[in-house]
Structure 1
Amino acid sequence: MINKYTLDNGLRIVTEKIGYVKSASIGIWVNVGSNNENDETNGLSHFIEHMLFKGTKNRKANEIAEEIDNIGGQMNAFTSKECTCFYVKVLDENIVEAVDILSDMFFNSLFKQEEIDKEISVVIEEIKMYEDSPEDLVHDKLTEIIFNDSPMAYNILGTEQNLKTFTTEKVLNYMKDKYSPHNTVVAVAGSFDEESFVNLIKEKFSKWQNKFVEHVDKDSHYERKVVGINKDLEQLHVCIGNKTIGRHHKDYHSLLVLNNIFGGTMSSRIFQEVRENRGLVYSIYSFVSNYSNSGIFSIYAGMSYDQVEEAIRTVLKEMVSMKNGKITMKEFNRAKQQIKGNYILGLESTSSRMSAIGRRELLFNEILYPEEVINSINNVKFEDVVKIANELFDIDKLSITFTGNLNKHKGIEEIINEVLGEEYES
C-alpha cells in the first residue's frame, strides 16, 4: 500500500511498507536538476549535491560518514537533468538516526568557501574522467544535439569555467531560489512505523517555509547532425540517435518493448546481427533516456575504423526491417516478458521501490502501483511497436556522433553521410 501525506508547507511524503524486509530506504527528492540552470549556473545543482556531504553546523564531514557507518547504513546522492536526490538505506531500528543525519545535511550544511574550492577540484577531475570515456563523450554530444537550444542540453556536471566561479554566496542563492517544500518529496520504502515516520518528517521539515519556484520546461528544436570529436583512440566510438517521447507518454511502454527487441539485450537484433553474426563490433547496444516530456533513443557501438561503414549500414537495415513489421511474435513476447521480469525483480529492493514512488510523485504528482505498470506492459500491441519504429527510425532524422583518431583515419564523416544517404526501404 502506497500512502501520501502533504504537510502544511507543501512538502509531500510518500510511503510504502514492505512487510518481509528489515531495512528502509529514505530519500529526499527535489525537482531541481541541470534543466533548471542557465549559462552561468550550469553545474550548480550537481555541485550542491556534493557539498551537502562536506559538513554541517552539527557535524563535520568525517562525522557524517562515521555516523552512517556506525549504524551500518549506506548514504549517497545523485543529480539528473530533472531532479536531485539524497538518500539513505538503514536497518529499520536506525531510521530516526538516519533521518536526523539526512535532514541536518539538507538544512544545516555550511558551504564554507575552503570546502567549495576543494570540491571544485574534485568535480573538475570528475569531468575529465567522463571526457576520457568515449562512450560517455559521444552520448553527451548526442544529447547536446537533440536538446540543442534548451537547458536539457547542459552537461549535469557543468563546465570547468563555470565551476571556478562558484562561491558560498552563489551556492546559497541558488538553493534559496530553487529549493522549496512545494517542489520536494520525502519518500520511504521498507520496514517502518507509518505514524512515527510521518511525525518525524513533520518535526524535521515543517518549519521550512514554502515559496513558489517556477519550473519552465523549454522544448528544443531538434535538427539532425553528424558530429565527430578527435581523440587519440584505438577504436571508433559511435552513437546513433533520435529525439523521442517522455515517460508520461501513452506509448512509453511500446518504446521500451521496441528498445528491448532492437538492442536492449544480448538476444536483441543488433547484438546478434552486428556482433555475433558479422563480428563487426565488440560492444553494441541501444537504450532510451526518458524525461518528463521528451527523451533520447540511442545506439552505441565501438568498432575498428575500417568496420564503420558496414556496421552502420547493418544497423540501419535492422531499423528498416522493424519499420516494415518484420518482428516475430517470439521476439515480441520475449521482450515484454524481459521488461516485466526486470521490473518485478527491481521491486525486491527497498531502494528501487523508494526511487519509483519518489520520482513518480515528484515529476508527475501521482502514485503508480506495480499492477498498473504490469498492465501497461501487457497491453502493448504488436502494431504499437511498429508504429513507434516508423516514427523513431526515420533515417533522415537520425543524428550520429563519433570519436576517435580523426587525423589518422580521415573521411569518417563522409563515409557516415554516404551510408545515411543510401536507400534502405524495401
Structure 2
Amino acid sequence: MRGIRSFNSISKRCYAARRSGSLTEPLALRIKSAAAPLTPQNVQVSKLPNGLVIASLENYSPMSSVGLFVKAGSRHETVESPGVAHVLRLAANLSTKGSSAFKICRGVEALGGSLSVTSTRETTVYTAQCLRDDIPSLLEYFSHVTTAQEFRPWELDDLTARVKIDKALCNVDPHVGVMEKLHEAAYKNALSHSLYCPDFMVGRVSSKEMHAFVQANFTTGRMALVGLGVNHSVLRQLGEGLLSSRSGPGAPVARAVYRGGEARIHSRDDLVHVLVASESAALGAAQANAFSVLQHVLGAGPHVKRGSNITSKLTQGIAKATSQPFDASAMTASYSDSGLFGVYTISQAAAAGEVIRAAISQVRDVAEGNVADADISRAKNQVKVEYLMSLEDCEGLLQEIGAQALMTGTYQAPDAVLKAVEAVTPEDVIKAAKSFVDGKKTMVASGLLVNTPFVDEL
C-alpha cells in the first residue's frame, strides 16, 4: 500500500510539463494517423497428403491458440485396456523424449502460456495458448507432448492418486453418474465405455498399453490441427514436420450399436435422478437439428438466472401432475454414428414416478402434434443464440472449428448452421418426438428408488 500511496504525492507540476515543440494549431484540428485497417479473414482449411486436416483463423488477437484434435476418446479403447483414455488425459504433463516434465512446466510458465488436455467419448484435444510472439517457442513443447510421449512406469504410478480423485468427484455428482450409466446401458460397445477408469484398472494401466493406444489412434488420418491467431503456413509447417512420423489412417473404429436397457443406482438419497432416453440422430445428420429444437421446445434448462424455466412444456406439464418440487429438462447428445435424446427429472423419492411419467407424457403430446408454432419459433431462436454464444470466446470457437475439421475435413460458417436450424419444420419436430416415443428406451435412476417405476412400466 505504501507504493500505491506514493503516486498520490506526485507534484502536480509533473502534469504541467511543457511538451517539446510549439503548438501552432488547435488540438481538435490535428488528425491522428490511422493504422491500416485489418482485412477480415475467413477460416482456412487444407488437407495434407498424409491425411492431416489443418484449419486456421487469423483473428488478429494478441493471444494465439493451437489445438490438436485426435479421434482417441474412450470409445476407441479395447476390451483389454479400459481406462487408457482417462490416464492419457492426465498424462499430458509427463516427461517426453525431448523434455522432462519439469522442463515442460517451467517452459510453458515462463512464456505465460497454458497447456491443457480435455477428452470426450470420441476425441482427445490438446490445447495451447500464449502471446502471439511466443507461439514458435510454445509449439516446441506442444509437439513434444502430442507426438513424443514416453509414459515412464514410475510416472504413471504417480498418476494413480489423481485418477482416484477424478473418480471420487464423479461419484459425488449424481448427474455425472447418471450420464455415465446411461451410455453403459444404452450401447453394446464403443460409446458404452466410460470417460473414467474402472475401479479394477486403477493403478494397473501399463506403459505398454498406453503406447499401444497412442500408436493405434494418434495418426494423421485421425487428427486435425487448428489455430486461432496463427498463420496458416505456420500450422502447415508444424503438421508437415512434427507430425510426419504419425502418418497413416490408424486402427479401424467400431460402429456404436444401440441396444437400450436399464440401470438403477440405489442409495439413501431422497433426491431421485431419473433419465429416460432413446436413440436419436448422429452428429451432422439433418434430423439432429430437429432433436435440438425439440429439446428447447420441451425445456433445456432455465434461461433466466435462478429462474425455474416456467415457459417449458415439461415444467408446465409436470406442475399439473404434482405439487412436489421438481426439476426437469430435455437432453440430447450426438456422436459421429449415433445419438441420444431423453428427459431428465429430479424430484423427491415419493413423487419420482408421477414426475417421470408426466415428463414422458409431454413428449408424447408433441408427437401427437400438440405443439404451437410460437413454441417452435422460440425454440429455434434459443438454439441459434446458444450456438452463437458458444462461438463468442476463443475456447468455444476453437472447439467448433476443430470438431468440424476432424469430422468432415471442412468448416461450415455460422450462417449456414443458422439456416439449417431455421429450416426445421413443425413436422420435423413431431417426427423427432415420435422417434422417442416409439423407440426402444434406456432408463437410469439414482437415489431412493422405492416409488420409481421400471422402464417397462412407463
Could you say which residue in structure 2 is the equivalent of 1:6? 47
Deviations 1:49-77 (A, max 9, x none): 22121222444334433433333333211
**CA separation in 2, counterparts of 1:384 and 1:211?**
40
Q: What is the SS of the residue equivalent to 2:69?
A: strand
For 1:117, the aligned partner's letter is D
After superposition, residues 191-270 of structure 1 pair within 5 angstroms as: 191-206=229-244, 208-223=245-260, 225-266=261-302, 267-270=311-314
After superposition, residues 17-36 of structure 1 pair within 5 angstroms as: 17-19=58-60, 21-36=61-76
**CA separation in 2, counterparts of 1:83 and 1:200?**
21
Deviations 1:88-120 (A, max 9, x none): 232322221221221111123331111101213
For 1:320, the aligned partner's letter is R
Deviations 1:158-214 (A, max 9, x none): 31212333122221122122221121111112x2333334334434333x1423323
Q: What is the SS of the residue equivalent to 1:264?
A: coil
**CA separation in 2, counterparts of 1:278 and 1:93?**
60
Q: 1:28 offset after TM fit, Å?
A: 0.7
Taking only aligned residues, the RMSD between alpha carbons, in angstroms, comes to 2.3
Match of 1:135 among 156, 175, 193: 175
Give 1 or 2 for the bigger CA radius of gyration: 2
Alignment CA distance shift 1:271-1:215 (3 Å) = farther
Gaps of 5+ in 1: 421-426
**CA separation in 1, counterparts of 2:246 and 2:361?**
57
Q: 1:87 offset after TM fit, Å?
A: 0.7
TM score, norm. by length of structure 1 = 0.89
Higher RCO (CA < 8 A, seq sep 6+): 1
Alignment CA distance shift 1:402-1:162 (3 Å) = same
**CA separation in 2, counterparts of 1:399 and 1:301?**
14
Match of 2:392 among 348, 358, 370: 348
Gaps of 5+ in 2: 1-41, 303-310
Match of 1:399 among 418, 431, 442: 442
Q: 1:39 offset after TM fit, Å?
A: 1.8
Q: What is the SS of the residue equivalent to 2:299?
A: helix
After superposition, residues 3-402 of structure 1 pair within 5 angstroms as: 3-19=44-60, 21-147=61-187, 149-189=188-228, 191-206=229-244, 208-223=245-260, 225-266=261-302, 267-274=311-318, 278-394=322-438, 397-402=440-445
**CA separation in 2, counterparts of 1:259 and 1:62?**
46
**CA separation in 1, counterparts of 2:218 and 2:243?**
13
Q: 1:318 offset after TM fit, Å?
A: 0.8
More moved, 152-161 vs 360-369: 360-369
Identity %: 20
Q: What is the SS of the residue equivalent to 1:335?
A: helix
**CA separation in 1, counterparts of 2:273 and 2:300?**
18
Could you say which residue in structure 2 is the equivalent of 1:423? none
**CA separation in 1, counterparts of 2:117 and 2:319?**
36
More moved, 240-249 vs 227-236: 227-236
